[in-house]
Amino acid sequence: MNTAYIYLLIFACIAYLICTDDNIAAAVTLLLQLIKFQFEKTKWIILNDPRNPIVRWNMERRAYKLAKEIQDEMERKSKSLNNDSKTNQ
């Protein structure tokens, strides 16, 4: 028997049970929500776990960029304050 027919048979059985019993429909809905939640949780862990070297590299890169921007801004403010103090004297 072809695999597609097996999937069709399983899907047809589940569809029949959902149509005939409201409790099974609720259970299937909850099961699908659980699967979706587990997928989202796993995806979040993969993308945000600091033990992951790629995530760690991205965090370090963002921190370095932010530090560089702050350092450049502080240097610009320092130069503008020095220029203002020289013109006032």
Higher pLDDT, 49 or 73: 73
Q: How far lies 89's CA from each of 75, 84, 85, 86, in Å?
A: 21, 9, 6, 5
Q: Provide the pLDDT for residue 47.
A: 87
pLDDT per residue as tens digits for the range 22-69: 999 999 999 999 999 999 999 998 888 888 898 899 999 999 999 999
Whole-structure pTM value? 0.56
Higher pLDDT, 46 or 70: 70
Tokens of 45: 């862990």
Q: Provide the pLDDT for residue 72.
A: 94
**Distance between CA atoms of residues 16 and 12, nearest Å:** 6
Tokens of 74: 């502080």
Question: Longest C-alpha distance within the chain, in Å?
Answer: 94
Q: Provide the pLDDT for residue 88.
A: 63
